[in-house]
Amino acid sequence: MKLQGKTILLTGGTDGIGLRLARQLRDKGASLIVTGRTPARIEAARAEGFEVIPADLAGPAGIEAVLAGLGERSIDILVNNAGMGADHDFRIAPPVAEDDERTLWLNLHAPIRLIGALMPTLRARPEAMIVNVTSGLAIAPSAGAPLYCATKAALRSYTQGLRAQLKGTGIHVLEALPPVVDTQMTAAMGGSKLTPEACARQIIAAMEGSKNEANVGMVKFLRAVYSISPALARSIMLRF
């Protein structure tokens, strides 16, 4: 898909992977509408010239805020990028129910709700795209973040089903599967991390190529292992 001239709604576009996506998509000639929930980051993104809709998508009010901010405008591409992880490790401490609910909402319910609400405008465009950002952990889960993995695996399954439903229409469905990326969410994690700039570049290349999946960075290796032996892929990832 040619991105120049396209209007894109990008959730979680004021930080991390989302902000780099916004910058690089704008460099491609696209018009960006991004969402964010932290006042300081919202103001910083606006200072860069981005239109920002303040919305906390970890609850139904955030969906209403996005739709109200969008108004009657049409979009060509919806990028469901916003996400979070809750501490959910019984080996350390009991999970916090409120954090679990926010994670479920932001990572799973919000993308599904936005897709449903915006499907009519996407269908009306000559060509359109839905990009759902999941994770390499949607392929094989880690022991340390089962709730996060479950939400991403559920969104992966939803994306695959949605792609089949929309086959033959003007709406292309892309799933982006990043590895561990150097963002605020992963600040406490050690090990090698992909830069958010590199992650964004690979996702955008998949958008331009109208790919079904963007297996980013080391996720390519995990995907290859899974294709040979799902059990081996799971055993590797469950060590973390």
Q: Which residues are catalytic?
A: 148
- Cα 203 to chain centroid, rounded: 10
52 Cβ contact partners less than 8 Å away, ≥ 6 residues apart = 13, 14, 34, 35, 36, 42, 45, 46
Contact by Cβ (8 Å): 197, 20:
yes
Please give the order of strands across the beta sheet that includes 128-133: 51-54, 31-36, 7-10, 77-80, 128-133, 171-177, 213-215
d(CA 233, CA 206): 24
- Calculate helix-pair angle for 97-104, 146-165, nearest 10 degrees: 20
Q: Based on the number of CB atoms within 10 Å of its own CB, is 218 exposed (0-12), middle (13-18) or buried (19 or more)?
A: middle
